[in-house]
Amino acid sequence: MKLILLSAIVASSALLSGCVVSVGGDSDSHYGANWEDREYNNRQHIAKLETGTTYEQVLRKMGVADFTELFEKQDGTYRVLYYRTQKTMGDGITTKDECTPLVFINGSLAGWGDSAFSMIH
């Protein structure tokens, strides 16, 4: 009897060893369960930025942007980094309207937000 019970325990543990149970979940699975934390942290970092900060310094502080743009004009090189700061739809896809743009001119932070972005277009 002990042999049968022991065999059943060993067999069931081998069968269940590959099972994974996911509890919770979120419609923004791209960000995992902490997308709200990410947005909050991005807003916190952006609130502490100062104009004149270099592109490299901002990248070290903020990390990889959700979107980037780079273009040349007669007066210099423009780079825009977009960081997600607010959720508009629970579809799991980040769009630019859910992001705050950070505008760099010749490698230096010139401003952020929609008003800074509209000045370069």
Residue 41 lies in a domain: yes
Residue 94 lies in a domain: yes
Residue 10 lies in a domain: no
pLDDT at site 32: 53
Residue 1 lies in a domain: no
Residue for token pair 């149970």: 21
Residue 81 lies in a domain: yes
- Could you give the number of structural domains in the chain? 1
**Centroid of chain to Cα 11:** 43
Asked if 98 contacts 114 with a C-beta cutoff of 8 angstroms, the reply is no
* Structural domain span for residue 87: 26-120
Q: Give the confidence band of 25 by pLDDT, cuts at 50, 70, 90.
A: very low
pLDDT at site 22: 36
How confident is the model over 80-102, as pLDDT tens digits? 999 999 988 777 789 999 999 99
- For residue 77, what are the β-bridge partners? 72
Residue 105 lies in a domain: yes
SS3 content of the chain, % helix, strand, coil (to 5): 40, 25, 35
Residue 18 lies in a domain: no
Radius of gyration of the chain (CA): 23
Residue 107 lies in a domain: yes
The answer to whether the Cα torsion of 32, 36, 37, 43 is positive or negative is positive
Alpha carbons within 13 A on the beta-carbon side of 100: 18
pLDDT value at 16 more than 80: no
Which domain CATH number covers 60? 3.30.1450.10
pTM: 0.70
Query: What is the number of other CB atoms lying within 10 angstroms of the CB of residue 71?
Result: 10
Q: Give the confidence band of 33 by pLDDT, cuts at 50, 70, 90.
A: low
**Among 69, 78, 82, residue whose Cα is nearest residue 110:** 78
